[in-house]
Amino acid sequence: MSDRPLNFIEEIVENDIDSGKYEGRVHTRFPPEPNGYLHIGHAKSICLNFGLAEKYNGKCNLRFDDTNPLKEGEEFVESIKRDVKWLGFDWDDRLFFASDYFEKMYEYAVKLIKMGKAYVCDLTPDEIREYRGTLTEPGKESPYRNRSVEENLELFERMRNGEFEEGSKTLRAKIDMSHPNLNMRDPVMYRIIKKPHYRQGKKWYIYPTYDWAHCLEDSIELITHSLCTLEFADHRILYEWFLDQLGIYKPQQIEFGRLNMTYTVLSKRKLTILVRDGYVNGWDDPRMPTIAGLRRRGYTPESIRDFVNRTGVSRTDSVVDYALLEHCIREDLNKKANRVMAVLDPLKIVITNYPEDKVEWLDAENNPEDEKAGKRKVPFCREIYIERDDFMENPPKKFFRLAPGREVRLKHAYYITCNEVIKDEDGNIVELRCTYDPSSKGGWTEDGRKVKGTLHWVSARHCLDAEVRLYDNLFIKEDPEEDENFLNNINSNSLVILQNCKIEPYLKDAKVGDKFQFLRKGYFCVDDDSKDGKLIFNRTATLKDSWAK
- Provide the annotated active-site residues: 33, 258, 268
Tell me the closest approach of the beta carbon of residue 206 to ligand ATP, in angstroms.
21
d(CA 327, CA 546): 8
| Number of neighbouring beta carbons within 10 Å of residue 19 | 9
Using alpha carbons, select from 37, 41, 36, 15 the residue that is nearest to residue 26: 15
d(CA 327, CA 325): 5
Tell me the closest approach of the beta carbon of residue 49 to ligand ATP, in angstroms.
8
Tell me the closest approach of the beta carbon of residue 35 to ligand ATP, in angstroms.
7
Task: Kindly state whether residue 266 participates in binding ligand ATP, applying the rule CB under 6 A.
Answer: yes
Binding characters for ligand ATP, 267-296, by CB under 6 A (x = yes): xx----------------------------
Nearest residue to ligand ATP by CB is 41
By CB under 6 A, name the one of 13, 31, 390, 409 that touches ligand ATP: 31
Question: How far apart, in Å, are the Cα atoms of 547 and each of 61, 320, 328, 354, 415?
Answer: 35, 11, 10, 44, 35
Task: Kindly state whether residue 51 participates in binding ligand ATP, applying the rule CB under 6 A.
Answer: no
User: Is the separation of the CB atoms in 51 and 26 below 8 Å?
Assistant: no
By CB under 6 A, name the one of 9, 17, 84, 228 that touches ligand ATP: 228
In this complex, which beta carbon is closest to ligand ATP, that of residue 40 or of residue 362?
40
Task: Kindly state whether residue 32 participates in binding ligand ATP, applying the rule CB under 6 A.
Answer: yes
Task: Kindly state whether residue 45 participates in binding ligand ATP, applying the rule CB under 6 A.
Answer: yes
Binding characters for ligand ATP, 530-549, by CB under 6 A (x = yes): --------------------
Tell me the closest approach of the beta carbon of residue 518 to Mg ion, in angstroms.
38
Task: Kindly state whether residue 41 participates in binding ligand ATP, applying the rule CB under 6 A.
Answer: yes
Q: Which residues in 327-477 belong to E strands, given as ranges? A: 338-340, 342-343, 346-351, 360-365, 375-380, 383-387, 407-410, 415-423, 429-437, 454-455, 457-459, 464-471
d(CA 451, CA 428): 27
Binding window for Mg ion (CB under 5 A); candidates: 27-35, 94-102, 162-170, 429-437: 27-35
Please return the burial class of 146, using the count of CB atoms within 10 Å of its CB with bins 0-12, 13-18 and 19+. exposed
By CB under 6 A, name the one of 229, 334, 445, 491 that touches ligand ATP: 229
Binding characters for ligand ATP, 188-207, by CB under 6 A (x = yes): --------------------
Whether residue 42 is annotated as binding a ligand: the answer is yes
Three-class DSSP category at 509: helix
Whether residue 45 is annotated as binding a ligand: the answer is yes
Task: Kindly state whether residue 208 participates in binding ligand ATP, applying the rule CB under 6 A.
Answer: no
Task: Kindly state whether residue 258 participates in binding ligand ATP, applying the rule CB under 6 A.
Answer: yes
31 binds, among ligand ATP, Mg ion, none (CB under 5 to 8 A by kind): ligand ATP
What H or E segment, with its residue span, contains residue 261?
Answer: strand 259-261
Tell me the closest approach of the beta carbon of residue 33 to Mg ion, in angstroms.
5
Whether residue 146 is annotated as binding a ligand: the answer is no
229 binds, among Mg ion, ligand ATP, none (CB under 5 to 8 A by kind): ligand ATP
243 binds, among Mg ion, ligand ATP, none (CB under 5 to 8 A by kind): none
Tell me the closest approach of the beta carbon of residue 207 to ligand ATP, in angstroms.
15
Whether residue 35 is annotated as binding a ligand: the answer is yes
What H or E segment, with its residue span, contains residue 541?
Answer: strand 535-541
d(CA 516, CA 523): 6
Q: Pairing state of beta strands 27-30 and 95-97?
A: unpaired
Whether residue 40 is annotated as binding a ligand: the answer is yes
Whether residue 305 is annotated as binding a ligand: the answer is no
Tell me the closest approach of the beta carbon of residue 191 to ligand ATP, in angstroms.
18
Whether residue 214 is annotated as binding a ligand: the answer is no
By CB under 6 A, name the one of 22, 28, 42, 191 that touches ligand ATP: 42
| Number of neighbouring beta carbons within 10 Å of residue 358 | 9
What H or E segment, with its residue span, contains residue 536?
Answer: strand 535-541
Query: Which residues, other chains included, contact 507 with Cβ-Cβ below 8 Å and sequence gap of 6+?
Result: 340, 342, 464, 466, 516, 535
Task: Kindly state whether residue 469 participates in binding ligand ATP, applying the rule CB under 6 A.
Answer: no
Specify whether the backbone of 360 is left (phi greater than 0), alpha (psi in -120 to 50) or beta.
beta
Tell me the closest approach of the beta carbon of residue 258 to ligand ATP, in angstroms.
4
Tell me the closest approach of the beta carbon of residue 267 to Mg ion, in angstroms.
6
d(CA 451, CA 445): 10
| Number of neighbouring beta carbons within 10 Å of residue 485 | 9
Task: Kindly state whether residue 251 participates in binding ligand ATP, applying the rule CB under 6 A.
Answer: no
In this complex, which beta carbon is closest to ligand ATP, that of residue 82 or of residue 117?
82
d(CA 296, CA 536): 12
DSSP for 407-419 reads EEEETTS-EEEEE
293 binds, among ligand ATP, Mg ion, none (CB under 5 to 8 A by kind): none
User: Is the separation of the CB atoms in 27 and 94 below 8 Å?
Assistant: no
Binding window for Mg ion (CB under 5 A); candidates: 18-26, 30-38, 229-237, 239-247: 30-38
Query: Which residues, other chains included, contact 130 with Cβ-Cβ below 8 Å and sequence gap of 6+?
Result: none
Q: Which of residues 65-94 bind ligand ATP (CB under 6 A)?
A: 65
d(CA 300, CA 513): 10
Q: Pairing state of beta strands 383-387 and 346-351?
A: antiparallel
Binding residues for L-glutamine: 65, 210
Residue ranges that bind Mg ion, judged by CB under 5 A: 33
Binding residues for ATP: 33-35, 39-45, 229, 258-259, 266-268
Residue ranges that bind ligand ATP, judged by CB under 6 A: 31-33, 41-42, 44-45, 65, 228-229, 258-259, 266-268
Binding residues: 33-35, 39-45, 65, 210, 229, 258-259, 266-268
